[in-house]
Amino acid sequence: MVAGNPHSRAAAAHPRDSGHFRGPTSTLSQKVSVLPACTQRTFADCAAGTGLRAYREHASLGGLRFARASAGPKPNPHCHGPTGPRPNTVRRRIVDFQIVQAFFMLGFVAMAAGTLWFYLERNDLKPEHRSVATYAAVITFIAAIMYYVMKDVVKFPGGEITAADVDATLPLRYIDWLLTTPLLLVEFALIVALAGALKKGLLTKLIIADLVMIVFGYLGEIGTPGSVTNWLFFGISTLGWLYIVYVVFTLKLGADAPAHVSRAVGIMKWFVIAGWAIYPIGTATQEFIELGGGDAALAISIAAIIYVIADVLNKVGFGLIAVRAAKQS
């Protein structure tokens, strides 16, 4: 959907004293109301030079990122004089959001397919090893449910959405991670146990560090960008992840460990170290784009796509390695 020409004579001829166009500009206001990235209020603010920063003040999501205030007006690169967003920018934003919507659907399909595959593979394992496939299937099943809900939140396929709709998936993501990341560590411990190297208390320590990482990561996400508390929460969350990396990386298998188990544990270590690092990279990318005065909608869209890719790799890929090791044992 492409809005009408925002350079119309009516748009430039009437005042915007309350943030809404008046009088004979009602037709323009109706067109503005269907723009995917702006409301009528923010379209007028865009002409005043506040753009998405004003949108962050007025689009409340119950404490999420778009409810946070942003001090002072700042020129919006998507504003073109007193007439609002350029038509090309509007069309680009629609395409950007369609890509994001498609990625959420891709996440659901990948998780659902992974669940089915792990369930079918379970019967090919020895009874004492079937719990590996069970955990892998449960992890992807939870993720599939959450992605099914999230794809509806972003109105797939082709619904008109704003960056606020994409950002509204944030609590759902953290519910997913709060449930699935401890299970991923349990799955890792099961493979380590095949080599006889699982020490008492190791899994408990990893899960506690994981919960610290997730909980404080969420607090950092809903805080004010650039604030001291935000950086503090982000730092604590990162420390939790670094502790997990340290414990996993320093884990030593016995010399008598089967070669296929040693190989699987080595690969799974890199999933935890490198694969899990994708999440803070996505969060940091979004934060720095916003703090630098960039396009907040673009920042949120990029982070959402990064999270989908990371979820598929770390849940489905991790499970594939674990099930393969169990099958060879």
pLDDT tens by residue, 209-218:
999 999 999 9
Least confident of 11-20, 208-217, 266-275: 11-20
pLDDT score of 261: 87
Instruction: Judge whether residue 252 has pLDDT over 90.
Output: no
Query: What does the angle CA 259 – CA 261 – CA 266 come to, to the nearest 5 degrees?
Result: 95
With a pLDDT cut of 90, the percent of the chain lying above it is: 36
Q: Determine the average pLDDT of the residues in 118-128.
A: 91
pLDDT-based confidence at residue 101 (cuts at 50, 70, 90): very high
| Whole-angstrom distance, CA of residue 42 vs CA of residue 153 | 22
Cα 230 to chain centroid, rounded: 18
pLDDT-based confidence at residue 196 (cuts at 50, 70, 90): confident
pLDDT higher for 51 or 213? 213
pLDDT-based confidence at residue 279 (cuts at 50, 70, 90): confident
Beta bridge partners of 79: 85
Q: Determine the average pLDDT of the residues in 249-278.
A: 86
166, 154 in Cβ contact below 8 A?
yes
Cα 115 to chain centroid, rounded: 21
- Tokens representing residue 284 in the block: 């940091």
Q: Determine the average pLDDT of the residues in 64-75.
A: 41
Least confident of 51-60, 116-125, 144-153: 51-60
pLDDT score of 94: 53
Instruction: Judge whether residue 33 has pLDDT over 50.
Output: no
pLDDT-based confidence at residue 199 (cuts at 50, 70, 90): confident
- Which span out of 62-76, 219-233, 287-301 was modeled with the highest average pLDDT? 219-233
pLDDT higher for 16 or 171? 171
Q: How many CB atoms lie within 10 A of CB 235?
A: 12
Q: Determine the average pLDDT of the residues in 147-161.
A: 90
| Whole-angstrom distance, CA of residue 101 vs CA of residue 107 | 10
pLDDT-based confidence at residue 96 (cuts at 50, 70, 90): low
- Tokens representing residue 329 in the block: 């044992």
Whether residue 157 is preceded by a cis peptide bond, meaning omega within 30 degrees of 0, is yes
| Whole-angstrom distance, CA of residue 142 vs CA of residue 80 | 45
pLDDT higher for 305 or 71? 305
324, amino acid identity? R
Least confident of 114-123, 273-282, 301-310: 273-282
Residue 198: CB partners within 8 Å, gap ≥ 6? Answer: 189, 192
103, 305 in Cβ contact below 8 A?
yes
The residue behind tokens 């899994």 is 203
210: left (phi over 0), alpha (psi -120 to 50) or beta: alpha
Which residue, 235, 301, 295, 290, is CA-closest to 68? Answer: 290
| Whole-angstrom distance, CA of residue 327 vs CA of residue 120 | 13
pLDDT score of 328: 86
Average pLDDT score over the chain: 76
pLDDT higher for 272 or 185? 185
Instruction: Judge whether residue 92 has pLDDT over 60.
Output: no
Burial class (CB in 10 A: 0-12, 13-18, 19+), 23: exposed
Q: Determine the average pLDDT of the residues in 219-245.
A: 88
Residue 182: CB partners within 8 Å, gap ≥ 6? Answer: 207, 210, 211
Provide the CB-side half-sphere exposure for 251 (13 A, CA): 31
Which residue, 278, 304, 47, 281, is CA-closest to 162? Answer: 304
Q: Determine the average pLDDT of the residues in 193-209.
A: 88
Domains and CATH numbers, the chain: 9-85 (no CATH), 90-328 (1.20.1070.10)
